[in-house]
Structure 1
Amino acid sequence: MSAPYPLVHATASAPLGQRLTVAEEVLKFVRTKPLGAGGALIILGMMLVALFAEALAPYDPYRGDYGLQFARPSVDHWFGTDEFGRDVLSRVMYGARIALFVGFVASFAGCTLGGLLGVVSAYWGGKVDLILERLMDVLLAFPQLILALAIASILGPAVQNVVVAVAIPIIPRAARVVRATALSVKENPYVEAVQALGALRRRVVLRHIVPNVMAPYIIMLTAQLGGAILTEAALSYLGLGTAEPTPSWGLMLSGSAPSYAEKAPWIALFPGIAISLGVFGFNLFGDSLRDALDPKLRKT
């Protein structure tokens, strides 16, 4: 059975016995994948804004001033103010925290749990594989956003519930990708030889299976980050994500923002740009990372 992601046993770009340093790898990535480097810069910018929001935000994102309702973008308020007189720029900056937190935690949790299930399913096989695969089929029967909506509606609006709702639909997709690669690794002669010598299952899995599924795992993880941010925004927009007055990009698009589209379009415009930019950055970086880690794509 062929795997969707080939196994990587050596680095073809460096001479035999010579390894590139981290700095050299980064420079090579920037030189060969400029779009991916651009995506990485967008992600880095978002992370810096999220980490230093207190220092960068010009105003308290929770504090309103009814005397400044619907103030147009100006020198004092670059992105204008909303219907409560809150500074939109400050809320967009703080909203990056929610977006990145949910995106990273949900993607990591979903891909890690799905990857573990994929390895267990591939290596143990038999009834274990059958049960896990049917369970994954049930989850895959629902579109990703619909399943997230159903879970979020059951759990209620809260950041931790959004993480769970976004992570669960990722699990079966990660499990399928990792399982396919693990099955291919399991059939390799050197793995069969280790098993024939009586090596413990745990040792075979940790030493030979897991290292060879890391490439598709990383690719899957980066591919899900942009989607996780978009799903969180959709849940918040529909009132199933974070609740007021928490600054969330999706939440800033909902509520009264559509009602004031003509009067104050900046209320929804700038959070929408932030969502698009974040998803665009993660997609650019994820695609370039996939090309860099996949030997077949590297050769073309």
Structure 2
Amino acid sequence: MNELLALALAFPLVLGALFIVLAASTRAALFGFFAFGLFLALAWVELEAIDVALTEAAIGGGATGLLLLRLNARMRRTVSLGQPAGPQLRIVAGLLAVLVTLVLGALLLALPDPAPSLAAATVEPLPTLGISNPITAVLIAYRALDTLLEIAVLLIAVVGIRVMGAERGWAGRPVPWPAAEPSPALVFLARLLVPAGLVFAVYLFWVGADAPGGKFQASTLVAALWLLAIMAGLAPAPRTGGGWTGIALAVGPLAFIAAGAIGLAATGSFLAWPEPVAKPMIVVVELALAASVVVALVMLVAGPPEPEAGR
């Protein structure tokens, strides 16, 4: 049964990849990318990697696809996209994808059975953190610096988006999306989904300590709800020059660095805290990082600021 389900999920993944490469328009390829991300998330669920599935659905297919869709719409208004890729380039891209797939498959088949593992030694000290979800515990205990760098990359991307705007519009808001009056159906959907989605995001954030979930998945959901409210005209896009947006972007990295410094003073090691305060420190850092991720994702998708009327 598992083999049949794996094949059933692999088939639309292959078809989706081919559709993205062979699509006649960029917009069609982007919608194919959305569908591909959904099936890829289902494939991760079948592999019992629920955390990876949530991340793929939220960030890989969701936030990234929405960002590309927004970028495509802006480019069509501002620049000429020229002629679409010819059949030769598409064939080369397809062959390259097949080659990468074959190489990865060969590497997987060449792995020793059973594969060497440090899982037991890795998991042994994790209970001292007070976190029962091993994925979250590993991210906090062994990959904390990676998480800090991921936030730094998001902030650098936001700075890049900001400098793409007109100089006199640095303190303005992005171009409304869509520019036309939102449909009543979209407004109704936003009013219905935003409150329920926020409740689920809080649950997703809190349960990440003991089950699949966490700040990145919850933050992406909140960002998506905010963008839905913007599209429905229920909330404005964030002003890049606003004081609160700068504070929200900076609070995550600053809290992370401050918590690391506290650990250095208390234990002599960066981001290493005494056992009684480990979990409270983790919760504070995760909350601060979640605020930064939400604002960064919304500003990335919304695009660069534009000069405001009268300025």
Q: Does TM, normalized by the shorter one, top 0.5?
A: no
Q: Identify the TM-score tier after normalising by the shorter chain.
A: under 0.3
Normalised by the length of structure 2, the TM-score is 0.26
Larger relative contact order (CA 8 Å, sep ≥ 6): 1
